[in-house]
Amino acid sequence: MLNGFFLGLGSYFLFLGSVLRRPESWREFGKSLMREIELLGLSSIPLVIFISLFMGAVLTIQTAINLDDPFIPDLFIGVAVREGIVLEFSPTIVSLILAGKVGSNISSSLGAMRVTEQMDALQVMGINPAGYLVLPKIAACLMFFPVLIIFSIGMGLLGGYLAGDWLQMVNPDYFLMGYFDEFNPFFVVYALTKTVFFAFIISSISAWYGFNVKGGAVEVGKASTKAVVAMSFTIILFNYILTNVMLQ
Amino acid sequence: MIEVRGIKKSFGDQEVLKGIDMQLQRGQCNLIIGSSGSGKTVLLKSIVGLVKPDAGQVLLDGRDWTGMPERERKVLRQEMGMVFQASALFTSLTVEENVRFPLDFFSTMPLSEKNARIAFCLDRVRIPQSALRKNTAELSGGMQKRVAIARAIALNPKYLFCDEPNSGLDPETSVVIDQLIQELTREFGMTTVVNTHDMNSVLEIGDHVVLLRHGYKVWEGSGPEILKATDQEVVDYVFVSALFKKVREALG
C-alpha cells in the first residue's frame, strides 16, 4: 500500500512536470483560460453565495445561543462569527465544497477525454495534452478561487448579520461593531494564502486522476470519486500545516 | 512511404508485436487487418508514436521517426492526420471549431485563408453548411467520422492514419467512408494506413493489405489477392463468415 502511495506521488510530480511548461500557443492558452474561468469559477458563484449566506446565518444562531449571557455583549458574537468565517469557514469549508464541484468536474471531463481518445488526438497533432488541457484549469482555479473566497467571506458576514437581525437574537448595531472590532488584516492574507494552496491541490489532484483514467465510463466515475476523497484528505492536512506555520 | 523495421512491443510479460517489417507506399491505402488481440492497434499506435516500441524503427520517407528528438517529432507530427475509432472529436467544440483547431495551433495562414481551408475540408467530406455550428455530439456516427477526416486533412498531411474508421457504422455508411478515404489518399498523394476488421474495406480500398496474427505479419498482398490466397492463416481469418464461405465456393 505504501509502495503504491509513493508510486502515485512520483507519477503526480511527473505529471506536474508535463503540465507546468510553456504553452504551445499563448493565444490558445488565453482562450482556454477564459473558458475555464467561466466553467470552473463564474459558474460556482451561485453555489458559493447560497452556502455562505446560510452558513453565516447558522454560525450567528449557534454562537448567539452559546454566548447567551447578559455579561457577554453582542459585539463578541460578531467577532466570533467574523473570525469563524474569515479563518475557517470560507477558505477551508468552501474549498472542500469546491473540491466536490470543481474537482469532480475536472477529473470527469479529463477522464472522458482520455477514454474517448481526445487526448491521443491532441498528442498525434503534436500538442502536449497535459499542458493544453490542465494548465488553464490550474491557472483558472488559482486566479478565481481567491475571488470566490472573498465573495464567500462577504456573503457569510451578510448572512450572519441578516439572521441575527431578523431572528432578533442579537442587537444588530453591537453585532455589526463586532465585525470591525480589532480586525486583523493578516487573517485575510492567511485565508487567501490557504485558498491559493487549496486551489492548486483541487485542480492538480483532480486533473491527475482524470488524466490517468484507463478503461471506460465506470472508471471515469471511480476516478472522480477517488479524486474528491484524495483532495479532501490533502486539504484537511494542508489546512493544519498552513495554520501551524502561519498562525503560530 | 512509411517503412517499418523489426517493430517489437511488450506489455509486461505479454509480447504483442514480435518483429514486424513492412513498407507502406505513398498514394495507396495500406490496410492492417487481423483478429482482436493480433496487435494491429498497437502497431498503428507505434507507427503514429502514441506507443513507444521496445525495438525496431519507423521511417517516414527515410526519416527515422522512432529515434527522433521530441522537438523534431513535434514538427513532423504536423504532417500526420489521424482518424480515431470513436472519432475523438473535441466535444466542447463545434464542427467548424474542430476542423479549425489544428489550423489555429500550427498554421500561420491569415484568417480568410483559414476559413477557406475549413470550408474546403468540410465540403470535401460532404458536411453540409447547416452542420457547421452544431456540437459534434449532435451528429450521427457517420457524420462524426467525416468531420474527423476533415480535421485530419486540415493541415494537408502526408500521412493519414485511420483506426477502425468503419467501427459502429452501417454497411452503407462504411462504404461511403471507405471511398472517401480512398479518394483523399489519391487526391492528396498521402500514405494512408487503415486498421480494420472489415473485409468489405479490404476488398473496396485495400491497395496493400497486411494480415497480423499473434503479433506476427503472416500475409501481405492486395485486397483482391486475399480471396485467392491459400495460406492457412488467411483462410482462417477471411473465410470464417457464411458470406465469405459462399464467396470462396463461388470462386472455386
- Interval B109-166: pLDDT, tens: 999 999 999 999 999 888 998 899 999 989 998 899 999 999 999 999 999 999 999 8
Test mutation, B48, B50, B93, B108, chain A, max A CBs within 10 A: B50
Which chain B residues are Cβ-neighbours of A127 within 8 angstroms?
105
What is the percent of chain B with per-residue pLDDT over 70, rounded to a whole number? 100
**Terminal Cα-to-Cα distance of chain A (whole angstroms):** 34
Name the band, by pLDDT with cuts 50, 70 and 90, for residue B107: confident
Record: contact A125-B89, CB cut-off 8 A: no
Residue B37: what pLDDT?
A: 86
pTM of the model: 0.88
Task: Check if A34 contacts B (Cβ < 8 Å).
Answer: no
Record: contact B104-A28, CB cut-off 8 A: yes
B199-222 burial code (b ≥16 CB/10 A, e <16): bbbbbbbbbbbbbbbebebbbebe
pLDDT above 80 (res A110): yes
pLDDT above 90 (res A186): yes
Record: contact B50-A27, CB cut-off 8 A: no
Task: Check if A189 contacts B (Cβ < 8 Å).
Answer: no
Parallel, antiparallel, or unpaired: how do β-strands B216-221 and B208-213 relate?
Answer: antiparallel
- Residue whose grid cell is 483532495: A231
Record: contact B102-A24, CB cut-off 8 A: no
- Residue whose grid cell is 487487418: B33
pLDDT above 90 (res A182): no
Summary mean pLDDT of chain B: 90
Task: Check if A184 contacts B (Cβ < 8 Å).
Answer: no
Which residue in B has a C-alpha nearest to residue A26's C-alpha?
B105
Which chain B residues are Cβ-neighbours of A25 within 8 angstroms?
104-105
How far B236 CA lies from chain A's nearest CA (Å)? 30
Q: Chains A and B: how many Cβ contacts under 8 Å?
A: 50
Task: Check if A27 contacts B (Cβ < 8 Å).
Answer: yes
Task: Check if A123 contacts B (Cβ < 8 Å).
Answer: yes
Which chain A residues are Cβ-neighbours of B78 within 8 angstroms?
125-126
DSSP state, residue A215: S
Which chain A residues are Cβ-neighbours of B104 within 8 angstroms?
25, 27-28
Test mutation, A124, A127, A128, A132, chain B, max B CBs within 10 A: A124
ipTM: 0.89
Cα angle, residue A26 at apex, residues A23 and A30 outer, rounded to 5°: 110
Record: contact B106-A125, CB cut-off 8 A: yes
How far A97 CA lies from chain B's nearest CA (Å)? 25
Parallel, antiparallel, or unpaired: how do β-strands B55-60 and B216-221 relate?
Answer: unpaired
Which residue in B has a C-alpha nearest to residue A35's C-alpha?
B92
What's the rounded Cα separation, in Å, for the pair B93 and B15?
39
Q: Which of A21-30, A108-117, B132-141, B237-246 has the lowest mean pLDDT?
A: B237-246
Residue A12: what pLDDT?
A: 94
pLDDT above 90 (res B35): no
What is the percent of chain A with per-residue pLDDT over 70, rounded to a whole number? 100
Could you tell me which residue, B48 or A69, shows the higher pLDDT?
A: B48
How far B73 CA lies from chain A's nearest CA (Å)? 8
What's the rounded Cα separation, in Å, for the pair B74 and B56?
20
Record: contact B106-A28, CB cut-off 8 A: no
Record: contact A121-B82, CB cut-off 8 A: yes
Residue B252: what pLDDT?
A: 67
CA B219 to chain centre: 19
B 174-203 near A (Cβ less than 8 A): none
Record: contact B86-A28, CB cut-off 8 A: no
Say which of B80, B88, B92 has its CB closest to residue A117. Answer: B88
Record: contact A126-B74, CB cut-off 8 A: yes
Record: contact B104-A125, CB cut-off 8 A: no
Helix axes B111-124, B95-106, angle to 10 degrees: 130
Residue B244: what pLDDT?
A: 76
CB A195 within 8 A of CB A145: yes
How far B127 CA lies from chain A's nearest CA (Å)? 21
As a CATH number, domain B2-217 is: 3.40.50.300
Which residue in A has a C-alpha nearest to residue B85's C-alpha?
A117
The DSSP bridge partners found for residue B193 are: B30, B161
Residue A178's contacts (CB-CB under 8 Å, 6 or more residues apart) are A74, A75, A76, A77, A78, A79, A80, A81, A82
CB A128 within 8 A of CB A21: yes
Say which of B75, B80, B91 has its CB closest to residue A124. Answer: B80
CB A128 within 8 A of CB A230: no
